[in-house]
Amino acid sequence: MIYVSPVHELDAGRAADEASSGLPQERDHARHDHLGRERREYDRGELHHRSRSSSFRVGVDLVVVADVARSVQRFGDRYIDRIFTAHEIMCCRTPDRSQEPSTAYFVESLAARFAAKEATVKVLRPEGTRPDWRSIEVHREPGGWCEIRLRGRAAELAVEAGIAELAVSLTHESTMAAAVVVGMRSSGDRPVGRPDTVAWREE
């Protein structure tokens, strides 16, 4: 069973064919989700997407934890401060769950955040100057999950691309760290690149 938003509609031509052939014309049933938004339920695996203006961008990146450890050892705070925000550094130094603060956790967490920044850049697709790494922040929420916050050039790129929301997922082990970022581009009937959701400004 697949749920899609109303902007993805059955191919009109196919519907016309069905009408003329006597086959069932309606294969989808309008529904509403818990937020009252209309959804359509398709009762067969085949799905013809005809996306009008809404779309997604996905970025993924993989980082070798040992590479980050070497950078920290070689360049120290100059590396850390050039790439990561104060909030990110604080989060990497202070695990929010059962882990004890450790150098290994610190470096793994930095690696995951670097992966998230690169994955975000892949979503933003800059042409020319790329955003400063610190303009893409992995912000840890009180519940423990993370969100991407943008400012400066990164926020501008998001607005230009019509990206209204970003979602991120991080993972790290002792050797590798990875992140996936999904950017949802706004459809025509919604505000494009709402700054309050994708950008933050320095006070």
Binding site for other proteins (CB under 8 A): 61, 63-64, 67-68, 70-71, 74-75, 78-79, 82-83, 114, 118, 126, 128-133, 153
Cβ at position 157, least distance to other proteins in Å? 13
Cβ at position 31, least distance to other proteins in Å? 43
What is the rounded distance in angstroms from the CA atom of residue 80 to the CA atom of residue 89? 8
Which C-beta is closer to other proteins: that of 156 or that of 164?
Answer: 156
Edge-to-edge strands of the sheet including 163-172?
55-64, 176-185, 163-172
What is the rounded distance in angstroms from the CA atom of residue 180 to the CA atom of residue 21? 44
Which C-beta is closer to other proteins: that of 43 or that of 67?
Answer: 67
Which C-beta is closer to other proteins: that of 14 or that of 82?
Answer: 82
Torsion of CA 187, 189, 192, 198, to 10 degrees: -80
φ, ψ of residue 9 to 5 degrees: the values are: -115, 160
Strand partners for 58: 182
Cβ at position 129, least distance to other proteins in Å? 5
Which is it for the CA torsion 186, 192, 197, 199, positive or negative?
A: positive
Cβ at position 91, least distance to other proteins in Å? 19
Neighbours of 108 (CB within 10 A): 24
Cβ at position 97, least distance to other proteins in Å? 26
Neighbours of 53 (CB within 10 A): 13
Which C-beta is closer to other proteins: that of 7 or that of 69?
Answer: 69
Cβ at position 128, least distance to other proteins in Å? 6
- Nearest CA to 126 among 79, 91, 158, 82? 158
Which C-beta is closer to other proteins: that of 31 or that of 70?
Answer: 70
φ, ψ of residue 32 to 5 degrees: the values are: -130, 140
Which C-beta is closer to other proteins: that of 39 or that of 122?
Answer: 122
